[in-house]
Structure 1
Amino acid sequence: MDQPTTHHELPPDSLLETIVVPRTHDLGENFNVRRALPSKQRRMVGPFVFLDQMGPHVFHAGRGLDVRPHPHIGLATVTYLYTGEIMHRDSLGVVQAIRPGEVNWMTAGRGIVHSERTSADMRQQASPLFGLQCWVALPKAHEECDPGFQHIGRDELPLEKAEGITARIVAGSLFGMRSPAPTLSDMFYVDLHLQPHARAQVPAEYSERAIYITEGMLDLGSDGVFQAGQLLVLKPGQPVTIKAGQLGARMMLLGGEPMEGPRYLTWNFVSSSADRIEQAKQDWRQQRFAPVPGETEFIPLPDLPGKPVSYP
């Protein structure tokens, strides 16, 4: 029987740089969100500056997700679901449902506002929700680009199938395939599903790589067996062979090349400039961002202590 690793001391010849066990936040009614990035152990992996796991959770009939309009700058948000549906609305006038295997890629650039909710139709009965949301920091040259949104259907994403292995390229490129997501930096984001005891190799083509386990257990040989809900940051420079446990495993492979400089992160804002973060905070206080058509609610700027934090 697979036994997960319970300690975090890594052997000298470990393939891992660090292990992140995410903090869990209960957003109400036992709807949990696990935050893997940023963490004390690791702030960024390639351009990935934020990674949340939503659920798995089942909303009772009449209930659902209600993330009111809120702003972003300097990043792209990526939503990817395993189960359920989320209705996206933004200040560009886009209204787009996202379902399992699809991608909503929203480029904030100089500023965008969006909401994320469970639709009225989905609230007619109990509805599940399980997925990942991440933020990708934009290269400095593109931080102030025009905001944009692209929805990519399940069948548009490259899919690689081998014995016991299914890999869907969500964004960026890996395994010789590239997603149509409009990425602006060298990166990869791959939904990898391994059947029981199947093996796969994570290539060494990028400087920074990590594995976020969403289901099952993963065997990394001498490093141990790891369970769902952990972010395994790999050392650079060599391919890593992974093996699924007896019930199989599903994970997201992510990473890329490091950013050309540090990033500041405060609330929903990411930038290479602390002053730009302060300007965004003031713009939201004064409601200078374009609104989401048809929505009057919004999330007020929280009481943010001190100056923006620089990562890494």
Structure 2
Amino acid sequence: MSNIGLIVEEKAADIGNFLVGRLLPFREKRAVGPFVFIDHMGPAELKDYQNLDVPPHPHIGLSTLTYLFEGSIFHRDSLGSAAEIKPGAVNWMTSGKGVVHSERTPEYLRNSPQFLHGFQIWIGLPKEMENTEPSFFHIEADEIPTWTEGDTSYKLIAGEAFGKKSAVPVHSPLYFVEIKSKTKQKLNIGQHLFGEVGMYVLEGTVNIEGQEYGTKQLLIAKNASLCEFEINENTTIYLFGGEPFPEERHIFWNFVHSDREKIEEAKVNWQDQNYAAFPLVPGDDKEFVPLPKSILNRK
């Protein structure tokens, strides 16, 4: 990161009964590689009467990646998938032409105090896959490549980098990497990266070109191959990156696509509750998130 091109400040966003820190999209940078949306959830302490409840809502043209540091979320979708995700595991859902899903506190935790902390990420699909059939995969924590080099530990959560490949079935060249250091040291890892890259400091600080950077910022490099920085002791960072798409990706609410008309179709189908386009979620079909009125007529 010896060549910072942009610093994105984390900003609060309301997703119902939960506040998150939004990193992407940003007015000056709509994507980093294929990553089009990054929310930092928490850390939040939920009381015994509070729960995460995101009712069924639709997606098209993207893959969602959920990764937790603390807590637990129960995922259900219109494919019939039902899976609890815990820290270190990955939920990877590809919406393709259309999928509906919900995310809630698991039933057995709903009357207990709990912590929730993690990332919710959207990754655009290559143009030829934007209208594919939806799919869902749950990857356990022990399936994620992890390794250490001296006082530094690495985890390749998704994609390919550092000569390793994650079990998460991604659809384009990308990487999502965790780096933890116990001591202060210089890292030069540009030879392992490609495309565009952003760095998020979860805890601790890094020094780049004489400037110290801490939490709540996404640092975006001008050139991934020049990713050199000093990481301080007890610091954890995440790298998001990969090859950008040649076409622009449009984002409206929960819809991502290179074709605006597909987004307009999705708006109408969800507004009309067209079950052929957006099927009900088995086990969670009593409510849904309505299409926001503010985007209904916006193109």
Structure 2 counterpart SS, 1:192: strand
Does residue 57 of structure 1 match 2:44?
Answer: yes
Q: Is the 8 A contact 2:2 2:226 kept in 1?
A: no
Does residue 151 of structure 1 match 2:138?
Answer: yes
- Alpha-carbon distance in structure 1 between the residues aligned to 2:76 and 2:197: 31
Does residue 94 of structure 1 match 2:81?
Answer: yes
- Alpha-carbon distance in structure 2 between the residues aligned to 1:266 and 1:33: 18
Does residue 211 of structure 1 match 2:195?
Answer: no
- Alpha-carbon distance in structure 2 between the residues aligned to 1:148 and 1:219: 40
- Alpha-carbon distance in structure 2 between the residues aligned to 1:294 and 1:178: 34
Structure 2 counterpart SS, 1:145: coil
Q: For the structure 1 residues 269 and 28, does the alpha-carbon distance in structure 2 shift closer, same or farther, using more than 3 Å as the test?
A: closer
What is the Cα deviation at residue 27 of structure 1?
Answer: 5.3
Unaligned runs of 5+ in 1: 1-12
Deviates more, 1:187-196 or 1:131-140: 187-196
Alignment partner, residue 6 of structure 1: none
- Alpha-carbon distance in structure 2 between the residues aligned to 1:162 and 1:197: 14
Does residue 293 of structure 1 match 2:282?
Answer: yes
Q: Is the 8 A contact 2:55 2:102 kept in 1?
A: yes
Deviates more, 1:191-200 or 1:158-167: 191-200
What is the Cα deviation at residue 277 of structure 1?
Answer: 0.1
Q: Which amino acid counterpart does residue 134 of structure 2 have in structure 1?
A: P
What is the Cα deviation at residue 26 of structure 1?
Answer: 4.9
Q: Is the 8 A contact 1:139 1:260 kept in 2?
A: no
How large is the RMSD of aligned CA atoms in angstroms? 1.7
Q: For the structure 1 residues 60 and 157, does the alpha-carbon distance in structure 2 shift closer, same or farther, using more than 3 Å as the test?
A: same
Q: Deviations over 1:207-239 (max 9, x none)?
A: 2011011112111233x1111111000111533
- Alpha-carbon distance in structure 2 between the residues aligned to 1:14 and 1:63: 43
Q: Aligned to 1:303, which of 258, 282, 293? A: 293
- Alpha-carbon distance in structure 2 between the residues aligned to 1:191 and 1:153: 16
Q: Deviations over 1:231-268 (max 9, x none)?
A: 0001115332222334x211211110110201111000
Alignment partner, residue 15 of structure 1: 3
- Alpha-carbon distance in structure 1 between the residues aligned to 2:189 and 2:217: 17
What is the Cα deviation at residue 203 of structure 1?
Answer: 2.1
Q: Deviations over 1:42-69 (max 9, x none)?
A: 1100000000000001100131100010
Q: Which amino acid counterpart does residue 8 of structure 2 have in structure 1?
A: V
- Alpha-carbon distance in structure 2 between the residues aligned to 1:50 and 1:237: 19
Alignment partner, residue 253 of structure 2: 267
- Alpha-carbon distance in structure 1 between the residues aligned to 2:7 and 2:290: 34
Q: Aligned to 1:284, which of 252, 265, 270? A: 270
Deviates more, 1:133-142 or 1:297-306: 297-306
- Alpha-carbon distance in structure 1 between the residues aligned to 2:240 and 2:38: 10
Q: Which amino acid counterpart does residue 294 of structure 2 have in structure 1?
A: L
Q: Is the 8 A contact 2:155 2:179 kept in 1?
A: yes
Structure 2 counterpart SS, 1:238: helix
- Alpha-carbon distance in structure 2 between the residues aligned to 1:27 and 1:264: 20
Q: Aligned to 1:250, which of 230, 236, 241? A: 236
Alignment partner, residue 100 of structure 2: 113
- Alpha-carbon distance in structure 1 between the residues aligned to 2:133 and 2:100: 13
Q: Is the 8 A contact 1:15 1:235 kept in 2?
A: yes
- Alpha-carbon distance in structure 2 between the residues aligned to 1:14 and 1:153: 34
Q: Which structure 2 residues correspond to residues 18-57 of structure 1 after superposition, within 5 A?
A: 18-26=6-14, 31-57=18-44
Q: In percent, how many aligned pairs have the same letter? A: 40
Structure 2 counterpart SS, 1:277: helix
Q: Is the 8 A contact 2:3 2:226 kept in 1?
A: no
Q: For the structure 1 residues 260 and 28, does the alpha-carbon distance in structure 2 shift closer, same or farther, using more than 3 Å as the test?
A: closer
- Alpha-carbon distance in structure 2 between the residues aligned to 1:237 and 1:268: 29
- Alpha-carbon distance in structure 1 between the residues aligned to 2:287 and 2:160: 38
Structure 1 counterpart SS, 2:238: strand
Q: Aligned to 1:79, which of 43, 66, 87? A: 66
Q: Is the 8 A contact 1:165 1:198 kept in 2?
A: no
Alignment partner, residue 133 of structure 1: 120
